[in-house]
Amino acid sequence: MLKRPAIIDNSDLIYDAASEDSGMGIEIHDTLLEGRDYVLLPQEVWNQLYLWYGGGPTLARKVISAGLSQTELAVEVYPLRLQLLEVPKGDRSTMRISKKETIGELHRRACEIFDLNLEQVCIWDYYGHRKHALMNDMDKTLDDANLQMDQDILVEIINHGNNNASDGCASYVQDNGTADKEATSISLEPSKSNLNVAGGMSNKGMSKTEVVQSQNQTSSIRELDNASGHTGVSTRGSSCGLTGLLNLGNTCFMNSAIQCLVHTPEFARYFREDYHQEINWQNPLGMVGELAMAFGDLLRKLWAPGRTSVAPRPFKAKLARFAPQFSGYNQHDSQELLAFLLDGLHEDLNRVKHKPYIKSRDADGRPDEEVADEYWANHIARNDSIIVDVCQGQYKSTLVCPVCNKVSVTFDPFMYLSLPLQSTTTCTMTVTVFTCDGSKLPSTLTVTVPKQGRCRDLIQALNGTCSLKQNEKLLLAEVRDHLIHRFLEDPLISLSTIKDDSHIVAYKIPKLTKNTKYIQLVHRSQEQVTSDAHKISGWRAFGTPLVSVVSSDGPVRKVYLERIVKRVLSPMAKIGTLMDTDVTDSSMSHAGEDSAETCTSSMNSNDPKSKVMEPLELPLQLLNEDNVCIDLSSGEEAVQLPSSSSVTVYLDWSQKLLKKFDTCHLENLPEVFKSGPVLKKARTEPLSLYSCLESFLREEPLVPEDMWFCPECKERRQASKKLDLWRLPEVLVIHLKRFSYSRSMKHKLETFVNFPIHDFELTNYVANKNSSQRQLYELYALTNHYGSMGSGHYTAHIKLIEENRWYNFDDSHISLINEEEVKSAAAYVLFYRRVKTEDVSVSNGVQTCASTKK
């Protein structure tokens, strides 16, 4: 039987500080993932577990209908969080409420929070600080009312001698659906409080509201910027292009990609001019121009001088409408968003209103230059936009049949290059090794293992470094909170299941025979706990559990167990401590010849310790089958061990006993993966961006899933494929493929890529040798990803070309950085722009300079 689990502890899921808001209840962290951080249980199962183990707190969630047909069921882990504003008092509050609740329930709870009567209030959808709609359909759900997470709700008190709130509210609504500005004016000032949002940053964008009635006011009142959604947090001075984006909750992936596009000079000029005439309103592949307009509006706000941080809610709403995969507040891949934006903006701005049908012709031995120009002309006949002008290039794709040697050449457009990383396939793990025979002090070892390896790989690496004897083996265990969380006995357990901050211990134990059990020695120390003004002594686990073995198929004498414990502790005994560790006497155990490997006393006549024969008694307690502790101090009696494969023995350390041992060896276990800041240009094997590009262009066979249909053989063949760059764009976007996926797992490559900031020379990589233009690029922006998949954080490094200075864009926080800080192992998507070299040409590989006479 396994050890009885401890009480249920959900404290890691909730914020430490309890909410003072009556409408919020217990708040859980915004970045939790099911399966990794928590599991969902039916109410009956939770009730039974709570009855058995206690603990908590209870985090109840509703099951709601979901999906387009509303027939699917889903657990609403994160109910709507609404920001309530009461006018004219100006009080603020935050509430959590299910999106399947009715507007009537919202009314009831808002009145309860602000201590109001239902008859004296009306409630408005106040999204973006504008009165969008009067919420007076009491049976309508909040989901049907299209309320969004963290949006504002206006609770307006109507008390002008009118007992009917609906009539009172109606008098405030004009024909255009907005409120009479003379009734109430609202101004915002920065809040002194911070709101921690997902993505790892602190969002200082919350505001408190000061309400000033217009009657008898002589001072001017600053009204809300209804359209922008700005807050009172300044980013930097009045320089254009230094405006941050607020993190709406795990939207750092979106913010980083947007900032890179916004700071692309060609896009900045285009969207600040009148681009509306190029919007393709009829394109069935587009978003009816709405995505382009939303992006253009956001770009103009970000380039406005002296603006404060922008909350990109309108843009995110459009994004969620046209790309539901990016809806909600989960973390996403910034490159996937970037690919969608570039394609969506292209379709919205495609100058071709009616795409002609064009059938591609085979090369048939024609020169590559002729075929490439034909393919490009056909592409432009159907796709012509600012995105194509700036970001699209062309590569040559060559397929060769392995059977008939048929060669097929096509010239295809590309929007970006996704380069593979020839990543290091190994990593280091740090493990502390303990012996159970008392022969050595514990030692810490760092070994190299495959990144996607298994526990058997870790054991094999440790075997060669820890001097393992022929009759010994290693037992791996994961230690949490000074207890063994789990034994890693299955050699096929994936190392990726071990968290970076875990503590892994390896115990040297004898190769087990039958009737053998593990003994877990758990250390406890006494501490004072204050309760109701009284001090109560209690025992609490500390240090690292030790493991030994006992071989028995019947009762075992207590003295035998005590000597096993003494043997394990003997390397840490101080001089003058008698450690009688002799367990050779078979009478101590009923196991006879099957006893564990024996070890006699660690003290002998030549040992200075042995001169002081101080008897040592250890206060040991055995946890029996019924989870009751049995005192092992009276040594001659025999005890029946629990039937489980692991036996827990507590050692209660008194202050006197602690003085006899160097217990420092039991504390401060290192983390299995030593974490730290992202290393910058300090990788042992830096990977060149050029080598990534060469790997991308290297000829290789197609994978079986992508076999090619040979027109000559009339069968599917695993052809070889070769890519060549043919035509490069003005802005070259390079995606470093850091995230890899397999059927059972995902992982991120932390490889440092040494990419050039200046003079990214691609002339020799272009297959079109007739081109006289030098292909030279310079980095101006990049996105970074820090952390692991699903729980990381995105930022952007951007160069303001007019200033020739680099800045770090971290959501709403913008800071000046040195050019040396641009390179790091976090680099994810790189943005290069062509260096204008009108006076430089390349002919037959020799650079020449053209001059003009004046």
Q: Of 252, 401, 599, 692, which residue is the catalytic one? A: 252
SS3 label, residue 295: helix
- Taking CA atoms, 205 is separated from 80, 91, 191, 202, 538, in Å, by 19, 17, 8, 9, 46
The answer to whether 471 and 597 have CB atoms below 8 angstroms apart is yes
Question: H/E/C letters for each residue in 451-516?
Answer: CCCEHHHHHHHHHCCCCCCCCEEEEEEEEECCEEEEECCCCCCEHHHCCCCCEEEEEEEECCCCCE
Please tell me the number of Cα atoms within 13 Å of 394 on its side-chain side: 23
Q: Is 793 a catalytic residue?
A: yes
Q: Active site residue: 590, 735, 793, 813, which one?
A: 793
570 vs 469, 489, 556, 602, 658, CA distance in Å?
19, 26, 21, 7, 13
Query: Tokens 């980013």 correspond to what residue?
Result: 235
Displacement of CA 342 from its chain's centroid (Å):
24
- For tokens 């039987």, the residue is 1
Helix (H), strand (E) at residue 319 = helix 313-322
**Residue pair 258/252 in contact by the 8 Å Cβ criterion:** no
Are 509 and 478 contacting, i.e. CB atoms less than 8 angstroms apart? Answer: no
Residues 6+ apart with CB under 8 A from 128: 152, 226, 227, 229, 313, 314
Q: Compute CA distances 548 → 458, 511, 545, 563, 756, whole Å.
A: 21, 11, 10, 11, 55
CA distance 673 to 535: 40
Contacts of 769 (CB under 8 A, 6+ apart): none
- Neighbour tally for 45: CB within 10 Å: 10
Report d(CA 307, CA 299) in Å as an integer: 12
Return d(Cα 783, Cα 800) in angstroms, integer.
Answer: 15
Contacts of 312 (CB under 8 A, 6+ apart): 229, 245, 246, 248, 251, 254, 255, 258, 298
**Long-range contacts, 1-7 (Cβ 8 Å, 24+):** 1/625, 1/642, 1/643, 1/644, 2/644, 2/646, 3/623, 3/644, 3/646, 3/648, 4/627, 5/53, 6/53, 6/55, 7/53, 7/54, 7/55
In this structure, the strands spanning 776-786 and 793-800 are: antiparallel
The catalytic residues are 252, 793
